[in-house]
Amino acid sequence: MTGTATRYLYLVRHGEAASEESGLTEAGRRQAVLIGERLRDIPLAVVHHGRLPRAEQTARLIGDQLKNVPLRVSEAAGDYVPYTPARDELPEESADFLLRFLAGATEEERAHGPALARQALDAFTGPVNGEQDRHELVVTHNFLVAWLVRDAMHAPQWRWLGLNHCNAALTVIRYAPGRPASVLASNDMRHLPADLRWTGFPPEAHI
């Protein structure tokens, strides 16, 4: 009978990009190389990444620092709104702010985002089959990192909103058999020098 083993999920938001549809800036390329160097000694089985240029370029630069780790494109690792809450799900004092933030999402995004979010949970979370622990990296976007952290904490579905992650910051979640998920690290930037930290993060929250 096959047992289950622990999954270690490493989540990295893409490096700094000039715009939402463009590739990386020079700072973003430096960030990607540095997070790749940090992950070099982790026994990663695979690097999943989204299709957009900023995620794909980040994944390839990370992959250049690793030892023969395959890169795989994943639609579930893309940039999308994972869940759109109704007003009555939200705290009264912040409902207007959060709904304004989501107002720009198209009907197509509202329809397809939740399906992709479910795919991401199926593909990337939970213990793995077999006897050997598995380490996986997902190079993605802020919304998906927030969605997966929310899920690991068993927080309400709307609570992905308000969770921010910097470019090339590292978040690690452990899924051990018979235990709740554990967020081992969140938005960790210690591999980045001061001039490359905090990009992609709200200016008022820089510390």
* Residue 189 CB-density burial (10 A; 0-12 exposed, 13-18 middle, 19+ buried): buried
Q: Which residues of the chain have pLDDT under 70?
A: 1-2
Give the predicted TM-score (pTM) of the model: 0.95
pLDDT for the residue 142: 97
pLDDT for the residue 1: 42
Residue 50, C-beta contacts closer than 8 angstroms, at least 6 positions apart: 56, 73, 74, 75, 77, 78, 79, 139, 140, 141
Report the b/e string of 11-25 with b at 16+ CB within 10 A: bbbbbbbeeeeebbb
pLDDT for the residue 107: 83
pLDDT digits (tens, 9 = 90+) for 3-55: 799 999 999 999 999 877 789 999 999 999 999 999 999 999 999 999 999 99
pLDDT for the residue 206: 83
| N-terminal to C-terminal alpha carbon distance within the chain | 50
Bridge partners (DSSP) of residue 195 are none
